Amino acid sequence: MNDSNLDSKQRLAIYRRMVLCRKFEERVYYLFLEGRLPGTVHQSAGQEASAVGVCSALAEGDVITSTHRPHSHAIARGLPVKSLMAELFAKSTGCCRGKGGSMHLGDLALGMLPAIAIVGGGIPLATGQALAFQYLGKKNIAACFFGDGAANIGTFHEAINMGAIWNLPVVYICENNKYGASTSVEKVMKVEHVSTRAAAYGIPGMTIDGNDVEAVHRAMSSAAERARGGRGPTLLELETYRFSGHSRSDPGHYRPQDEVAAWKQRDPVGLYEKALTDHGVLTEEAARQISASVEKELDEAVKFAEESPSPAAEECLSDVFA
């Protein structure tokens, strides 16, 4: 932990953001069980270090793209939890005015293109966003989240090749959580690491412990610096695990119990809490206060969402393209 340039204040902010991601997912899980939320959800508990580590290395004006599993990405990018919760409740105060729902969360003004549920669909979008930054002479970068499953989709290869040949300011971030829906990554990939594919496009590729938030922060910081400096993309593979099944309707029984248990031992929130405590950055009392303030923020978000109006019937066709 000592080789990071983060100070105590930044570390505590990262920790709080991770707790917010985790508790948001817990809250959403219970709201679904109670039948209070429409639609479906793909949850990201277990993957907080990836979302928060990446976004903690971004600057104002940078843009992320996301996937069908976007809640932690949105929270990590700093979208207000109220607007996310209202979006899940399909209310007009949501970040997409209640018309996008869980799989399309986003707010371009706050640095997140609305998420795209087509697997691999965000990779060309991030590449296009990076091309726009380069064309306009901006110093911003695009950070592109996608899963291991998306790394076998055609757009992965086409878009990364394009980003590479044009030295675009984009970082490609594969969250390798070992499964694409119920399919284990070993069944669909001959190479051990997605990151080795970077060699095919002539860009750097790295595999990082995706449950170590500061390791992610460090790797992303140097990839972002490279991209911002005009030296082109990097492919980061973050090894992580989702604690839940693929979606609300999937209990995840295809995963061996000992595998799930081993990854829960490496819970990214717990690991960081311990590291911060061991280094004297976090006390038990401070952890309690952070937990209470996050719960309060979520109480307020749920209340705000439930009390917000649904979109008016006459707005049915506004802000939608298809």
CB of 318 to ligand TPP, least distance (A): 26
| Half-sphere exposure for 103 (CA within 13 Å, toward CB) | 14
Binding at 82: pick from Mg ion, ligand TPP, none (beta carbon under 5-8 Å per type): none
Please state, in angstroms and rounded to a whole number, the distance separating the CA atoms of residues 31 and 33: 6
118 binds ligand TPP (CB under 6 A): yes
62 binds Mg ion (CB under 5 A): no
Let me know: does 230 contact 271? Beta carbons within 8 Å: no
Quick note: the x/- pattern for Mg ion over 142-161, rule CB under 5 A, is -----xx-------------
Q: Which residues of 72-90 are buried (b: 16+ CB within 10 A; e: fewer)?
A: bbbbbbebbbbbbbbbbbb
CB of 192 to ligand TPP, least distance (A): 16
Which is closer to ligand TPP, CB of 163 or CB of 210?
Answer: 210
CB of 178 to ligand TPP, least distance (A): 8
DSSP assignment, residue 67? Answer: -
Q: Which residues of 33-46 are buried (b: 16+ CB within 10 A; e: fewer)?
A: eeeebeeebbbbbb
DSSP assignment, residue 110? Answer: G
Which is closer to ligand TPP, CB of 73 or CB of 91?
Answer: 73
Let me know: does 47 contact 74? Beta carbons within 8 Å: no
Query: Amino acid identity, residue 222?
Result: S
Which is closer to ligand TPP, CB of 177 or CB of 221?
Answer: 177
DSSP assignment, residue 149? Answer: G
Let me know: does 214 contact 6? Beta carbons within 8 Å: yes
Binding at 117: pick from Mg ion, ligand TPP, none (beta carbon under 5-8 Å per type): ligand TPP
177 binds ligand TPP (CB under 6 A): yes
205-244 residues in contact with ligand TPP (CB under 6 A) are: none
171-190 residues in contact with Mg ion (CB under 5 A) are: 177, 180
Nearest by Cα to 68 from 218, 242, 187: 242
From 81-89, 92-100, 115-123, 162-170, span contacting ligand TPP (CB under 6 A): 115-123
Which is closer to Mg ion, CB of 80 or CB of 252?
Answer: 252
DSSP assignment, residue 107? Answer: B
Which is closer to ligand TPP, CB of 67 or CB of 93?
Answer: 67
Which is closer to Mg ion, CB of 244 or CB of 308?
Answer: 244
Quick note: the x/- pattern for Mg ion over 118-147, rule CB under 5 A, is -----------------------------x
Please state, in angstroms and rounded to a whole number, the distance separating the CA atoms of residues 72 and 84: 10
- Neighbouring-strand partners of residue 235: 172, 205
Which is closer to ligand TPP, CB of 149 or CB of 205?
Answer: 149
31-70 residues in contact with ligand TPP (CB under 6 A) are: 67-69
Instruction: Give the dihedral of Cα atoms 38, 16, 279, 222; nearest 10 deg.
Output: 90
Residues that bind ligand TPP (CB under 6 A): 67-69, 117-119, 147-150, 177, 179-181, 246
